[in-house]
């Protein structure tokens, strides 16, 4: 941020909100998923002061809007992680891939008042000797993996999910009470302070934990230059799907991926930018509606519903039945929200809701299409990896 702010070639427009990317569609040309050479000419951006949507033309555009954990009811991600870039590119008919591969962090602090973001209980705590238990003190990881609480993230998350479902629990517990209290306070000062602020002394009591949506491996499909299937549009960071994570991300690879692909995207765009001109024919955004307080309630309720649908039906363990149910619920929300969007002034709230529904739909549809369990996608209807089934 310091480097960006001190670079006089960069203008930072804080709190401006990208609503749509601009393509041939905005010139009145029909664009479908089969249209070759879709191009990005810039973006329509909501100005937070005037509440107007301005047109920003560009020779090259880079999407770096982050992940989409906020489409789930509980997430470690900030509330802005509504998958805006992914949804914008999908609506513009770009390719979005691997959306079924949602990584769930096994342990965030269970706190119904704090779910977006939920407070992360680092895995280092299990590395330190923390043991996963049911609230009654029973251990359960021996049923799932010989590495017990140190099993990989996806296995632990599935085990916790299963235990919560069979026992009807809202959370399980992480226990570090057997460790030296002073050491615990020294190694995990933030977790200690956070839990204490909620009345839990982790040196004496179990920490209530549950899994939460954490990272999206999929996203806007890009090539080795970081360029999407829409020309003049690049994507980097969590919103991009480079394929580097495969179907299951190793912790900390996201930042490496972001840096490597940001460099590729920068180098490639510098080599081609002079081939492009600003497109002067792009019309201004047409926005004539009004938004009443009553309609805002409809938006907040729908946001809640998306979170519930995704957490309950498209979570850690999936099934055909649950995925189909999610699909029909999201379809209804989609219809309602698109109708509302046509009538009202575009605000950040309604744009985020639209994007969440789009992203929820993409996760659900791509999960339905994958008829196997692979990496982070696990379904009880196809519990095996496709390669394993083929061997039989
Ligand atoms: C609690 C936690 C711990 C993590 N720990 C690690 C770790 O140890 N190692 C690791 O490698 N990864 C880790 N990750 C993952 C990693 O932090 C993220 O993948 C990464 O920060 C994403 O960076 P990004 O630049 O793609 O997106 P972000 O950092 O999320 O930035 C996206 C930006 O785009 C803006 N934006 C979004 N939509 C719009 C819009 N419509 N218009 C305008 N602006 C918009 C947002 O406001 C935000 O500023 C962790 C993630 C979490 C949540």
Q: Point out the ligand 1 atom lying closest to the alpha carbon of residue 240.
A: 26
The pLDDT confidence band at residue 292, using thresholds 50, 70 and 90, is low
Contact 198, 111 (CB under 8 A): yes
Q: What is the pLDDT of residues 261-278, one digit of tens each?
A: 999 999 999 999 999 999
Q: Give the chain's mean pLDDT.
A: 95
256 Cα to the center of ligand 1, angstroms: 13
Q: How far apart are CA 381 and CA 91, in angstroms?
A: 30
**The predicted structure's pLDDT at residue 291:** 63
pLDDT tier for residue 343 given thresholds of 50, 70 and 90: confident
Task: Check whether 345 has a pLDDT greater than 90.
Answer: no
Q: Is 337 in the pocket of ligand 1 (CB under 6 A)?
A: no
| Atom of ligand 1 at shortest range from CA of 16 | 43
> Could you tell me what percent of the chain has a pLDDT over 90?
91
18 has a pLDDT exceeding 90: yes
Confirm or reject: Cβ of 76 under 6 Å from ligand 1. yes
Phi, psi of 313 (to 5 degrees): -115, -20
Read off the pLDDT of residues 71-97 as tens digits, 9 standing for 90 and up: 999 999 999 999 999 999 999 999 999
22 strand-pairing partners: 42
Q: Is the CB of 254 under 6 A from ligand 1?
A: yes
Report the nearest atom of ligand 1 relative to the CA of 19: 41
Q: Give all domains of the chain, ordered by start, each with its CATH number.
A: 2-102+215-275 (3.50.50.60), 103-213 (3.90.700.10), 293-369 (1.20.58.100)
> Could you tell me the distance, in angstroms and rounded to a whole number, from the CA of residue 191 to the centre of ligand 1?
21
- Measured in Å, residue 78 CA sits from the centre of ligand 1 at 8
R_g over Cα of the chain: 22
The finding on whether 237 has its CB within 6 A of some atom of ligand 1 is: yes
Q: What is the pLDDT of residues 130-177, one digit of tens each?
A: 999 999 999 999 999 999 999 999 999 999 999 998 999 999 999 999
Looking at residue 164, its pLDDT comes to 94
Q: What are phi and psi of 299, to 5 degrees?
A: -70, -50
pLDDT of 55 higher than 60? yes
Nearest ligand 1 atom, CA 254: 11
CA 293-346-66 angle, 5° bins: 110
CB-CB contact of 83 with 192 (8 Å): no
The residues annotated as belonging to the active site are: 153
Report whether residue 15 contacts ligand 1, using a CB cutoff of 6 Å. no
| Strands of the 96-97 sheet, one edge to the other | 96-97, 219-221, 240-241
**Distance (Å) from CA 66 to ligand 1 centroid:** 5
What is the structure's pLDDT at 293?
Answer: 53
CB atoms within 10 A of CB 6: 8
**What percentage of the chain has pLDDT greater than the value 70?**
97
CB 72 within 8 A of CB 97: no
Main-chain phi, psi angles of 120, to 5 degrees: -80, 130
Output the CA–CA distances (angstroms, integers) from residue 99 to 11, 50, 75, 359, in the order listed: 32, 35, 16, 8
pLDDT of 295 above 70: no
How far apart, in whole angstroms, are the C-alpha atoms of residue 243 and residue 222?
9
Quick one: three-class SS letters along the chain?
CHHHHCCCCCCCCCCCEEEEEECHHHHCCCCCCCCCCCECCEEEEECCCCCCEEEEECCCEEECCCCCHHHCCCECCCCCCCCHHHHHHHHCCCCEECCCCEEEEEEEECCCCCCCCCCECCCHHHHCCCEEECCCCCECHHHCCCCHHHCCHHHHHHHHHHHHHHHCCCCEEEECCCCCHHHHHHHCHHHHHHHHHCCCCCCCCCEEEEEEEEEECCEEEECCCCEECCECEEECHHHEECCCCCCCCCCCHHHHHHHHHHHHHHHHHHHHHHHCCCCCCCCCCCCCCCCCHHHHHHHHHHHHHHHHHHHHHCCCCECHHHHHHHHHHHHHHHHHHHHHHHHCCCCHHHHHHHHHHHHHHHHHHHHHHCCCCECCECECCCCCCHHHHHHC
Q: Is the CB of 255 under 6 A from ligand 1?
A: yes
| Location of structure tokens 């994570």 | 245
Is the Cβ atom of 94 under 6 angstroms away from ligand 1?
Answer: no
The predicted structure's pLDDT at residue 289: 67
- Strands 240-241 and 219-221 come out as parallel
Give the pLDDT score at 344.
Answer: 85
């Amino acid at each position: 941020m310091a480097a960006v702010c001190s670079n006089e070639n960069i203008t930072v427009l804080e709190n401006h909100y990208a609503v749509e990317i601009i393509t041939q569609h905005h010139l009145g040309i029909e664009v479908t998923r089969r249209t070759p050479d879709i191009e990005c000419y810039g973006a329509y951006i909501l100005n937070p002061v005037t509440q107007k949507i301005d047109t920003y033309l560009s020779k090259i555009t880079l999407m770096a809007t982050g992940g989409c954990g906020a489409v789930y009811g509980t997430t470690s991600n900030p509330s802005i992680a509504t998958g805006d870039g992914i949804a914008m590119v999908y609506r513009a008919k770009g390719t979005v891939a691997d959306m079924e591969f949602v990584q769930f962090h096994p342990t965030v602090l269970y706190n119904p008042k704090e779910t977006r973001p939920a407070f992360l209980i680092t895995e280092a705590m299990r590395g330190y000797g923390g043991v996963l238990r049911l609230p009654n003190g029973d251990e359960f990881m021996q049923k799932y993996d010989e590495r017990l609480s140190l099993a990989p993230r996806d296995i632990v998350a599935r085990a916790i999910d299963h235990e919560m479902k069979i026992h009807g629990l809202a959370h399980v517990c992480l226990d570090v009470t057997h460790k030296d209290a002073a050491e615990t306070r020294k190694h995990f000062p933030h977790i200690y302070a956070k839990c204490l602020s909620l009345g839990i002394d982790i040196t004496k009591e179990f920490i209530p934990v549950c899994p939460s949506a954490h990272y999206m491996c999929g996203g806007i499909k890009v090539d080795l230059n970081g360029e999407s299937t829409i020309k003049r549009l690049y994507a980097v960071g969590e919103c991009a799907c480079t394929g580097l994570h495969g179907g299951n991300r190793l912790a900390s690879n996201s930042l490496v991926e972001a840096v490597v692909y940001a460099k590729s995207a920068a180098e490639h765009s510098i080599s081609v930018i002079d081939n492009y001109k600003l497109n002067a024919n792009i019309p201004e955004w047409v926005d004539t509606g009004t938004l009443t307080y009553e309609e805002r309630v409809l938006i907040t309720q729908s946001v809640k519903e998306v979170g519930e649908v995704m957490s309950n039906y498209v979570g850690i363990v999936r099934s055909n039945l649950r995925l189909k149910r999610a699909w029909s619920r999201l379809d209804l929300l989609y219809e309602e929200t698109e109708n509302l969007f046509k009538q009202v002034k575009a605000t950040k709230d309604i744009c985020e809701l639209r994007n969440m529904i789009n992203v929820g739909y993409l996760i659900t549809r791509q999960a339905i299409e994958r008829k196997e369990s692979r990496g982070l996608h696990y379904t009880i209807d196809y519990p095996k990896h496709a390669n394993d089934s083929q061997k039989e």
